[in-house]
Amino acid sequence: MTAGKLAANLALICDCDGVLIDSETIAGATIVRELEQRWPGTDVAAVVMPLLGFRTEHVLQSTASTLGRTLSTGEMETIHRTVQAAAIKAPMVDGIDAALANIPLMKACASNSFSDYVSQILERTGLNRFFAERLFAANMVANPKPAPDVYLLAAQRMAVEPRRCLVVEDSVAGATAAVVAGMTVLGYTGGTHNPEEQASKLRGAGVKETFSHMKQLPGLTEEWIREMTFTPSASTAE
């Protein structure tokens, strides 16, 4: 059976930050620095880092609440712009370009960021050639990840059933969103400072498998394609 036939009516959906570009570490470090400047002497990093994958506004609000601090609307907007300016310059995740080139599936990007930010990243890195107009972002749906909205929108627009979509996520919030949407999820741990801990968290969120380098992605995708196209009658026929 050819790769084209195997891949019929299946789709690969990738998160952006932490999967396509190596931005999660940059974003986290920027948020920590900005908050430490405002709240000296507080253990900001311990609160911020587990929240990465949520929108910046949620990370800031949750961190402030946990630490008993406050942030004005103006401060939150300033920090958000600073984080976005730093993250948008992040390099591609090592090996993602070659991995996507070797996966015979229709591809989409589904991000918790806004579409203009994601579009700039994909154009700058050249990754837009894999996704074309199949870009879905938080500003296109009612609820951001961990709600399933952006993944369900992607499936709907591509006319592919959610159960026939394979998702690559690096965060618990994103993995939760895709699992709730009824999709199979692979958890990427190569961009985190503690891969084993993150792998455990992602498995707890319901991912099918975790992996640490994008060179593994084509093989994992091929396994999933074969699982999706397997028929007992064909395998048992004499």
Tens digit of pLDDT for each residue in 151-199?
999 999 999 999 999 999 999 999 999 999 999 999 999 987 688 999 9
Query: How many CB atoms within 10 Å of residue 209?
Result: 15
Give the pTM: 0.83
Per-position DSSP letters for 171-218, written without gaps between them: SHHHHHHHHHTT-EEEEE-TTSS-HHHHHHHHHHTT-SEEES-GGGHH
pLDDT at 106 over 70: yes
What the block records as the tokens of 171 is 């965060």
Tens digit of pLDDT for each residue in 50-76?
888 788 888 999 999 999 999 999 999
CA atoms within 13 Å, Cβ hemisphere of 137:
16
* Pair 33, 134: CB distance under 8 Å: no
Total number of residues shown for the chain: 238
Per-residue pLDDT at 231: 52
pLDDT at 90 over 70: yes
234 pLDDT band, cuts 50/70/90, is very low
Tens digit of pLDDT for each residue in 194-221?
889 999 999 999 999 999 999 999 999 9
Mean pLDDT of 41-47: 92
CATH 3.40.50.300 fits 3-22+92-230, yes or no: no
Query: Which carries the bigger pLDDT value, residue 209 or residue 24?
Result: 209
Structure-token match 């806004």, residue found: 114
CA 108 to chain centre: 11
Of 191, 15, 201, nearest to 112 by C-alpha is 15
Alpha-carbon distance of 72 to 234, in angstroms, equals 62
Task: Please tell me what DSSP assigns to residue 142.
Answer: S
pLDDT, averaged across the chain: 91
Alpha-carbon distance of 58 to 158, in angstroms, equals 29
Alpha-carbon distance of 175 to 146, in angstroms, equals 8
Per-residue pLDDT at 4: 47
Residue 123 — φ and ψ, nearest 5°? -70, -45
Per-residue pLDDT at 110: 98
Mean pLDDT of 97-109: 97
Alpha-carbon distance of 185 to 120, in angstroms, equals 26
Alpha-carbon distance of 185 to 11, in angstroms, equals 12
Per-residue pLDDT at 6: 45
Per-residue pLDDT at 55: 81
Where along the chain do its domains lie? 3-22+92-230, 24-87
What the block records as the tokens of 39 is 């709240």
